[in-house]
Structure 1
């Protein structure tokens, strides 16, 4: 029998919701067949079977939240022993004399000895020499290592205080609970000033219970929406936002796009204004590096990034996601356009990989695509700025004392006011407008 566990599928993924089983109990599955579909806070992932055999038992149902390391299915691969880890069996009942300890019994031949297996090196630190020795099976030690648990801190419930798998799972649950409580306390507690005279953040008021007199309906939100909510609270709680707005004259850009639209179609490219905006932003970021940075709150340092990965906010039925166009400064307009279309398609059908959602340095949100004009977008932590793009429309403006009709694009730039001032924001927008006002400047860079 093989115990199939929900494995770590990427950085930051700790749990997911089981959306669908592709096989029923009793069905034959092959190595590589997709066994079930899981929704995480970032992507929907089809999880393949690592072995060929018969699906003997489902250990989770559709709708259940499953955690990394949890057994999800039992697969009968024809072997009596468990292939994923040798199952512990009842040890031989022998009298334990002074200086002896009961040894673990496992499937297969094992030499009986009173020697305690030396604690493995998981979570080992400089003070480990003072820690107690632990009785545990190799199975329990491996599980502790996989889950990041210091096995010397776990109280064993097995014979002679032996640490069992169940003890490891309980320790992991307790550790996660403590970590969550600390996060809540950190967000709600006061941030004490390091130096006398610094301002302090006052704890927010307790949220009152919601009471309604009319008919209501409660609707569960997706894991993605929960993540969006947490990220928005994190950003607005930690980053002091400031915003500046402007209207860019993009008449030449509109004309240039129309002229090159046929050429783009022949090349298989759907040419929009966004590739030009992304390229112009990448150029401006090189000239204003603080906009391509992160602020380390603890060390009070600005981290200037030497790579230019532009995030592109994508509206999906489940919530906002931000795939990233890597090395945008090194790509041409057509290449950016192709990458955009691929990312949007993968994001909306939730097949985008985690790697394509990570390591962004600056984000652009185009609410103009759905007719919006102005907005005040929320900075994606830990970035220092975000650009909001509104819908282009023809407007009468005064130019050389004459009223003329121009294509105007509303722009909003939100900044982290801890490291960026209004003057910096104004200069950044002036350079960005200069680039977008004449598309040849973008192409020649």
Structure 2
């Protein structure tokens, strides 16, 4: 008699009572290590839970709609050699991203009828959207469906032209790629560019170096950008908001949490610094250093990536004079920062050398118009030019 192996909810960070939205296996189905078995959904994230073992499912202890936490039992399985016929219907279910499967359920679409454009035929949210539109046009008797929002890339055998290597995208790149593609396709972006005079700010920052080192911190420009952005969010609440799912209401937030794009070996991640408006420059410097270290060391918790109101993406010293940052939906604005440089600025009847910082503000044009965008950018530039104005 074989002993059943229990599979429990693994470490999912600080999440508690997370809803089970999908069962991805069935009784008597043989699964391999890494195969997804359930999908969990919190208020901000969807997570597939993989099986840590191989075996045949003997018992499923959860149902759709159940709330689970770390350590709760998901299922029991017997070793692979346990006799049991796999469920043909379960085995034939196509692989799809959690967002794709959720949309398919909402639209009553059978994923077996959807052609996946993702890696290894994985079905993406965009594939379900195309299938839904095609079905809608067929129902109306239209000769042909509309052009898809994003067509699959044509299949090209690049090895015909020379030697090639195939390098899989990291999980972060795959997930962020899907998120960014959806944001770019569905949200009308507008980007405004401006220059902030940070000559005096840079001199002040340098004067803090000795005090910062004594505290074990490193004061960078990012902390000042976060403080100026938090003040701007307070002055312009529309930027500190998200569009409701019904598209008819705006959810105004009364907290000021700012996400910071961090480059890691696996790709960009955006951890969130909370209550920026209530923290000083040294405290922000310490938090930025700590969260950057955790992100690059793959020790960041899911909760630390949630709850942002506004994002800053800084190219720092890498270069550039401006770019178009893509919105980190459901946020409605994001600030891009390029490399500062000394430029001649005319003032007091002569040209003077000033350190100018290029800023690029992208925003959701459904929520924010050009006038408000210019006012928001002017506010940030004026605070960076004279940091004392943040005290007003």
Q: Which residue of 1 aligns with 2:149?
A: 204
Deviation at 1:145, TM superposition (A): 5.0
Query: Would you say the 8 A contact 1:4–1:72 is kept in 2?
Result: no
Cα distance, 1:265–1:145 mapped onto 2, change above 3 Å? same
Which protein, 1 or 2, shows the higher relative CO under an 8 Å CA cutoff with sep ≥ 6?
2
Q: Which residue of 1 aligns with 2:281?
A: 333
* Paired residue secondary structure (2:165): coil
Q: Give the TM-score, by structure 1 length.
A: 0.63
Deviation at 1:165, TM superposition (A): 12
* Paired residue secondary structure (2:63): helix
Query: Would you say the 8 A contact 1:5–1:70 is kept in 2?
Result: no
Deviation at 1:378, TM superposition (A): 0.5
| 2:194 aligned with 1:249 | no
Query: Would you say the 8 A contact 1:6–1:70 is kept in 2?
Result: no
Cα distance, 1:178–1:272 mapped onto 2, change above 3 Å? closer
The 5-angstrom pairing of residues 32-181 of structure 1 reads 64-68=34-38, 71-73=51-53, 139-140=59-60, 142-144=61-63, 170=90, 179=102
Cα distance in structure 1, aligned partners of 2:92 and 2:255: 37
The 5-angstrom pairing of residues 226-265 of structure 1 reads 226-265=174-213
Deviation at 1:264, TM superposition (A): 1.2
Cα distance, 1:205–1:72 mapped onto 2, change above 3 Å? closer
Q: Which residue of 2 aligns with 1:161?
A: none
| 2:161 aligned with 1:214 | yes
Q: Which residue of 1 aligns with 2:112?
A: none
| 2:367 aligned with 1:419 | yes
Deviation at 1:309, TM superposition (A): 0.6
| 2:189 aligned with 1:187 | no
Query: Would you say the 8 A contact 1:6–1:67 is kept in 2?
Result: no
Cα distance in structure 2, aligned partners of 1:186 and 1:282: 38
Deviation at 1:370, TM superposition (A): 2.1
* Paired residue secondary structure (1:341): helix
* Paired residue secondary structure (1:144): coil
Q: Which residue of 2 aligns with 1:344?
A: 292
Deviation at 1:346, TM superposition (A): 0.3
Deviation at 1:440, TM superposition (A): 2.0
Cα distance in structure 2, aligned partners of 1:5 and 1:369: 47
Deviation at 1:186, TM superposition (A): 5.0
Cα distance in structure 2, aligned partners of 1:417 and 1:239: 8
The 5-angstrom pairing of residues 251-400 of structure 1 reads 251-400=199-348
Deviation at 1:303, TM superposition (A): 1.2
Cα distance in structure 2, aligned partners of 1:306 and 1:382: 16
Gaps of 5+ in 2: 21-30, 39-48, 68-83, 110-124, 137-144
Deviation at 1:147, TM superposition (A): 7.2
- The aligned length equals 314
Query: Would you say the 8 A contact 2:228–2:380 is kept in 1?
Result: yes
Cα distance, 1:180–1:421 mapped onto 2, change above 3 Å? closer
The RMSD of aligned alpha carbons is 3.4
Cα distance, 1:419–1:205 mapped onto 2, change above 3 Å? closer
Deviation at 1:306, TM superposition (A): 1.0
Q: Which protein shows a greater Rg?
A: 1
Q: Give the TM-score, by structure 2 length.
A: 0.71
Cα distance, 1:73–1:419 mapped onto 2, change above 3 Å? same
